Structure 1
Amino acid sequence: MTERGFDLADRVAARQDSTLYRDIAPVDRIAERSYFAPDPGRDLPVLDGEEHLVFAANNYLGLTQDDRVQDAAAQAAEVVGTGAGASRLVTGDTLVHRDLERRLAEVKGTERALAFSSGYAANVGTIAALSPDVVFSDEFNHASIVDGCRLSGAEIVVYEHRDAADLERRMAERADAAPEAAADESWLVLTDSVFSMDGTVAPLEAICDAADAFGAWLMVDEAHATGLHVDGGGIVQREGLEDRVHVQMGTLSKALASQGGYVAGSDTLIQHLVNEARSFVFSTGLAPPAAAAASEALHLARHGECRDRLWSNVGQLRNGLESVGYEVRGDTQILPVVVGDREDALALERAVRKRGVVAPAIRPPTVPAGTSRIRVAPMAAHSRSDVEHCIEAFRAAGEEVGLL
């Protein structure tokens, strides 16, 4: 009989041979310091005896272990239930979801917001539901944006990374090539606000200008910015662009210490997504404890001191890493320590980990060739001595592997 299956063993072996194979490593808790276990496969994990400082997570405000966030989740589980039990269009729409969405809309300066079961689902479902004729997408946009563009069936135009002038040129070329046809098309511009591997920020005001010049809609992914800026908002709020961005998207699973995603915009946009976004319609609603945890975390991001602590740690860590001789890129809480060579990045990751600090090596194809780096991300929960330990670990590790 002809074999028409899949030789997965060869695919896995190819990844291992190219140093692109990835394990998943269990931890005892999600916090600024954790015990890790090697990937046990199907067996139960056995934790290492040494606790490590975690400078690798997106738990930027360190709220996963906050008593108030945990209490909100526990209370929702007790009162509402541990799971939504159905699509929100059936019986899975609760008061906890509505409270979260009210707070999100308030922070994002929009009429309404809608919570999805994941950030990926929010991006894919929203882009496909808008069904644009043409999308203009930054070349380094997140995979969920790329997949959403593909699923939408739109013609995809990729513009150069963080280059509003190139975006405007490509829009002008499209408009000039077939003026009558282009006049009837729906256009959607898509960009991350913070790019997660580089820690850089999109030039949102210039992108707004380009979109406005051609009557296009703009959708901004605030996954790595939500909760970190003015009043608990993102870059859109920092730049005062709420009235110029048609669709604001973000996650609940990073700074908001929970799980899920959201979209914020006009009342009409949310009504449309409730009816047309397949990843919303055909998914069980976000678990009530997750919604309650995110809502409380957003409240703390707005009114607590965690944002100030985060940015203090970011400044201390950046200055320290640069002072010992590293090139540190980025303009945000994400601090890429640029190494260049893939093998050097992996060696530095291992040497830093040996000194009790977990920070991942990022290498091609995730980043361009020759730009391998260690992605360092402090949390608000780190103490000043934690940050000093991280700096010293990088100094000693860099000397050990010959990078300093």
Structure 2
Amino acid sequence: MEDRGFDLEARLATLEENELNRTLSPVDRVAERGYFAQSCGGELPVLDADEALVFASNNYLGLTDDQRVQDAARRAAATVGTGSGASRLVTGDTMVHRDVERLLAETKGTDRALTFSSGYAANVGTIAALEPDVIFSDELNHASIIDGCRLVDCETVVYDHRDVEDLRAKLAARADRDDAPVDADSASDPNADACSGSDSSASASSDSSSPDGTESWLIVTDSVFSMDGTVAPLSALCDVAEEFGAWVMVDEAHATGLYVDGGGVVQAEGLEDRVHVQMGTLSKALASQGGYVAGSDALISCLVNDARSFVFSTGLTPPAAAAASEALHLARHGDARERLWENVAHLRDGLETMGFDVPGDSQILPVVVGDRRDALALEAALRDRNVVVPAIRPPTVPDGESRLRFAPMATHEQADVVACLEAVREASEEVGLL
């Protein structure tokens, strides 16, 4: 009999040969420092003896082990339950869900918000539910956006990273090709009927969801790009979108909680009325799990009915919703954001003083070293000095652009940042990068 299965051993061997194999390294706590274990497959992990400084986490505000956040999760578990038990549309909708969604909508300046089981589910479900005819996507958008584009029966046009003129040219070329009239006022209204033409049985190519019957266009971008630390020019993107009547969707996964009043870049630039779909996560600065979408009442009502990743998933656990709600409250009214940006500035200045180029202008500080072997060597040398910073390599980043991704937290002390910089200097000299 022919073997029609899968040669997984060969796949793993290829990954090992190309130095692309990844392993899991358990840690005892999610915080600014912790004890790590070596990868042990399916066996019980054994923690290493030395505590390590963590400059690798998306726990930007350091709220995962904040007593107030933990207490909120405990109260929700004791009062509501440890899990939702069903889809939100069945019996999995609770007051805890409504509380965090109310606070998210208030923070994001929208009518409503809706939580999903993950940020990935939020992006994939929202893009698929909108069923745009054409998606214009930044070339460095997150994988969940890319996969959302693949799920939709539409054309995806990729524009150069953060390049508004390239986007404008591609919008114009598409408009010229199809000679499609555009009513910018109705197409760009965030309160327009988002459900129009959303019947999942209809083909996107034959049943447009644009209010005036022309093609529906969706421009999608991250606000903070997770591997480059760059920030999208959102105001300029909104300008060009309004020229052509397109909608704008912004992924604020790495921005939520870090900017004005606990919002994201959309709030920092005052664009709440110009961005139609604001997406984000609860699993980074908000110290929990899950994703969300914020927008008009019509948008959220459509997602409740048409986003398959929402409809057919068990609701977010009540402890996760309560933890995110408390974390968002602390992000808005505490001093964690200020402490984070102080640590970011200190670490960036130190890395640049050593001679490293640190691109971007966010809390994510990438140090591009080029060759993946150099990146892996620097990661290992830092780990020997009990500092954890991940080497990011292909396929996550392009060939020749391997890097270390530094991410300080609000809970790092000044001495922690100094210790990290000293370790970077020693490790870089050891592997020949300085």
Which band: TM-score by shorter chain? over 0.9
Give secondary structure in 2 for the equivalent of 1:169.
helix
Whether 1:364 and 2:394 are equivalent positions in the alignment is yes
TM-score (norm 1): 0.99
Which residue matches 1:341?
371
Deviations 1:152-177 (A, max 9, x none): 21211111111111111001000001
- The percent of aligned pairs where both chains have the same amino acid is 72
Partner of 1:190: 220
Specify the alignment match of 1:140 in structure 2. Answer: 140
Counterpart in the other structure of 1:306: 336
Q: Secondary structure at the match of 2:44?
A: coil
Select 1:290's aligned residue among 320, 323, 326: 320
Structure 1 position 326 matched with structure 2 position 356: yes
CA–CA distance in 1 between the matches of 2:304 and 2:402? 41
Q: Contact conserved, 2:180 with 2:215, CA < 8 A, in 1?
A: no
Q: Provide the rounded CA distance (Å) in 1 between the counterparts of 2:243 and 2:180.
A: 17
| Counterpart residue identity of residue 186, structure 1 | S
Cα deviation, 1:41-65, whole Å, max 9, x if unaligned, reads 1110000001100000000000000
Deviations along 1:3-49, one digit per CA (max 9) or x if unpaired, are 11100110011011101100011110100001011111111000000
Q: CA RMSD in A?
A: 1.0
Do the aligned residues in 1 keep the contact of 2:117 with 2:316 (CA within 8 Å)?
yes
Q: What SS does structure 1 have at the residue aligned with 2:113? A: strand
Tell me the distance in 2 between the aligned counterparts of 1:278 and 1:54.
Answer: 36
CA contact (8 A) 2:358 2:367 kept: yes
Q: Partner letter of residue 308 of structure 1?
A: E
The 5 Å alignment of 1:2-401 reads 2-180=2-180, 184-401=214-431
Deviation readout 1:132-157 (Å, 9 max, x if unpaired):
11100011100000000111212111
Contact 2:390 2:405 in 1 (8 A): yes
Deviation >3 Å, runs of 4+: 180-183
- Cα drift, residue 323 of structure 1: 1.5
Q: Aligned equivalents of 1:373 and 1:270: distance in 2?
A: 38
Q: Which residue does 2:206 correspond to in 1?
A: none
Distance 1:249 1:265 in 2: 9
Secondary structure at the aligned position of 1:190 is classed as strand
CA-CA distance at 1:300 after TM superposition: 0.2
Change (3 A) 1:181 1:21: farther
State the number of aligned residues. 404
> Following TM superposition, by how much is the alpha carbon of 1:181 offset from its aligned partner in structure 2, in angstroms?
8.3
Residues 339-369 of structure 1: CA deviation (Å, up to 9, x unaligned): 1221111111111111110001112222222
Alignment check: 8 A CA contact 2:107 2:263 kept? yes
Structure 2: runs of 5+ lacking an equivalent: 183-212
Once the two structures are TM-superposed, the CA of residue 337 in structure 1 deviates from its matched residue by: 1.2
User: Is the CA contact (8 Å cut-off) linking 2:249 and 2:275 kept in structure 1?
Assistant: yes
Secondary structure (helix, strand or coil) at the match of 1:64 reads: coil
